[in-house]
Chain A
């Protein structure tokens, strides 16, 4: 039982490049989330999904897109990376009716 798995763990992008971060969970959780973590700012919600085929914007959605084609996967895309998107990205999931998150191990993204 792997829990929540994020790939890749590290990535360096040049400004303007695109990439997709993958989050996969094997716990049959309905809810999935993408957060970014910056020093002194805690965790900020980018996008989230309450079920397969649904997505919604969080606190800081600009510059990101997401898709949830399968219940177990939640993809975060950066169409044109900017240095301001340098951050650590965490995926999380939880079961409907339960409030505690299970976090992935994070992706450290650097945009140069």
Chain B
């Protein structure tokens, strides 16, 4: 079955710096890769996603890149702000199906 690994598990950056979180997946049939942000005590919220027919997608300070050959995708946050501090989860669709496997999460801390 699908296995999703995520690195690093914790990440601290200075405000204004960039942050990169990487995920790898095992199922070559996976075709959709969302990223969720979960603030402390809150529900996960979708922040960006990418489909397998696209190599990169950008939304303001957030971007996601996908390398299907290597089976990895990454979240890039530029000009980080304190409100970016949260746990970020990547996920990969299970084959062509409608369910997802989540990575274990990355706790991002943006230091002022």
Q: Is the CB of B98 within 8 A of A103?
A: no
Cross-interface CB contact of B105 among A31, A42, A50, A100, cutoff 8 Å: A42
Of all chain B residues, the one with the shortest Cβ separation from A4 is B43
Cross-interface CB contact of B93 among A48, A99, A105, cutoff 8 Å: A99
Q: Chain A contacts of B104 at CB under 8 A? A: 40-42
Q: In which size bucket is the chain A interface?
A: 20 to 34
Within 8 A of A (CB), among B31-77: 32, 34, 36, 42-46, 49
Known: A40-B104, A41-B104. A103 touches B99 (CB 8 A): no
Q: Chain A contacts of B100 at CB under 8 A? A: 45
Query: In the complex, what distance in Å separates the CA atom of A33 from the CA atom of B42?
Result: 18
Q: Is the CB of B45 within 8 A of A99?
A: no
Query: In the complex, what distance in Å separates the CA atom of A58 from the CA atom of B102?
Result: 13
Q: Is the CB of B44 within 8 A of A90?
A: yes
Known: A40-B104, A45-B99, A58-B99. A103 touches B44 (CB 8 A): yes
Chain A 47-73 interface mask (CB, 8 Å, partner B; 1/0) = 010100000001100000000000000
B89 close to chain A: CB less than 8 A: yes
Chain B 1-20 interface mask (CB, 8 Å, partner A; 1/0) = 00010100100000000000
Chain B 76-101 interface mask (CB, 8 Å, partner A; 1/0) = 00000000000001000100001111
Q: Is the CB of B43 within 8 A of A100?
A: no
Known: A50-B98, A99-B49. A43 touches B9 (CB 8 A): no
Of all chain B residues, the one with the shortest Cβ separation from A38 is B104
5 A–B contact pairs at CB < 8 A?
Answer: A40-B104, A42-B4, A42-B89, A99-B49, A101-B44
Closest 9 A/B residue pairs (Cβ) = A42-B102, A103-B43, A43-B102, A42-B104, A100-B46, A99-B32, A105-B43, A103-B44, A42-B105
